[in-house]
Amino acid sequence: MKRPVWHRPLALVTLLGLLPLGCARAATTSGGVHQDVAPETSTLSRAPVTMLPSATLTAAGTPGQASIADITERVLPSVVNISMTKVAKIQGGPQGFPFPFFFGPQEGGERREQGMGSGVVIANDGFIITNNHVVADAQEIKVTLFDKREFDAEVVGTDPKSDIAVIRLKNSPPDLRAIPIDDSAKLRLGDVVLAIGNPFGVGQTVTMGIVSAKGRSDLGIEDYEDFIQTDAAINPGNSGGALVDMDGKLVGINTAILSRSGGYQGIGFAIPTNMAIPIMDSLRKYGKVSRGWLGVSIQDVDQELSQAMKLPTSRGVLIADVQTGSPAAKAGVQRGDVVEKVQGRQVSSTGEFRNAIAAAGAGSKVDLELYREGKLRVVPASLGEATADNANRPGSGAHPAAPRGLDGITLSDLSPEARRQFGINDEATKGVVVTQVLPNSPAGRAGLRPGDVVIEVNRKAVANVRDFEDAYGKARGNVLLLVNHHGVTVFVVVKR
């Protein structure tokens, strides 16, 4: 089965003499996340064209309701085309010719790359919201309005973690029209939406579809995700364009597509306004985004964990570890707590929890509604600021679910020799070490690996192999383990 490829629909053209070439950024996901590069066609002459059967669509609207054409006319002036130019270093012959066998090996050449995307006017004084990947590393930005007027623009601020950027026209015209903004939380599955942008650089285009899903996260496209999924056609060049509802208001910024070919295949993603607008406001005011940080390691709660921990709910986020000295530790959050709501908002996945903490902002206070030993309580916490350092440390965010199964492994005490052999860090102070895993055993198929440290059995600490054997042997039914997996502490349920 082929892996799905996430494309950011930005059309790029490499300028090498008079030869237009195309490329686009993509992220491939299959368990893990990495970036790949997939070729894209960014000129009309190279874009494949398929003639479709004619169809009739009634779009005149009902009495008292605007038609799709009316909505389009109102919104189009607020959506712009963005072109950017950047200089990239290349290897090869002089003046960028990729033929070193003529001139001998040379380095230090440059080539100009031009990208095409879309943007949305959000303030009459020239502020435009778009995707970060549309303007990243740009030396020159030009914005073309609906009426073909062209203006130079500059970057106000970018946020690569959410793929949001704000630019501003250097000489904004007085008649610039900002788009009205709606509450994306009001969207329902099946609501009709319009996607507006500049696909393949052919000019402003409007497509129609429905809201296919909401709250899409953990896709591996961006660090912070809460996507609206739509089947409105989105193609390279649509990046940064508008997703609007039937009131003619902005509800999302078109960002990515799921495609095996690089073109539209019915699955597109937009950043909802409820996520994009606060980020945009922060970029306008401060030029950066300050996110909240709690300092916990988290995992999703499933039915097995819920039963093993005797929880009254199978929803929420399990606190697998609390970083020493973190805001969570100071607030009294404990390992094993299950958070159901953040500031009154339901969180059903690690992605939702992470977004809620980040969006609250550094220095803010949030109420965590959580279950501890089966009882619901509210724990107030004052958030710190997420940085590159604390965001990558164990106990700072969401981590993959724990491996499952235990039969088929060999254990040893956590000795200095075991630490050296398996590279176990000093944070693991107690427990027993997994030294061997049979390849076809339940543990091997589940993902347990040598070097994992088992800390607890059914919430009882184990200091050596004898403690483990006693606790595991006395357990009846499913067994709840606490495992330090390469520096990340996670709970795992062993089905017996």
Q: What is the DSSP string of 310-362?
A: T-S-S-SEEEEEE-TTSHHHHHT--TT-EEEEETTEE--SHHHHHHHHHHH-T
- List 83, 239, 282, 297, catalytic entry: 239
* 485 is annotated as an active-site residue: no
Nearest to residue 435, comparing CAs of 405, 463, 453, 411? 411
Angle between helices 273-286 and 350-360 (to 10 degrees): 30
Residue 436, number of CB atoms within 10 A of its CB: 12
The SS3 assignment for 29 reads: strand
DSSP 8-state assignment for residue 103: H
- List 159, 163, 182, 321, catalytic entry: 163
* 7 is annotated as an active-site residue: no
* 191 is annotated as an active-site residue: no
Phi, psi of 71 (to 5 degrees): -60, -45
Cα dihedral 262, 268, 273, 279 in deg (nearest 10): -40
Contact at 8 Å (CB) between 481 and 471? no
Residue 17, number of CB atoms within 10 A of its CB: 9
- List 7, 133, 399, 485, catalytic entry: 133
Q: What is the DSSP string of 138-207?
A: -SEEEEE-TTS-EEEEEEEEEETTTTEEEEEETT--TT--PPPB--GGG--TT-EEEEEE-GGGS--EEE
List CB contacts of 76: < 8 A, sequence separation 6 or more: 146, 196, 204, 206
Which tokens hold the place of 181?
A: 């903004």
Q: Which residues are catalytic?
A: 133, 163, 239
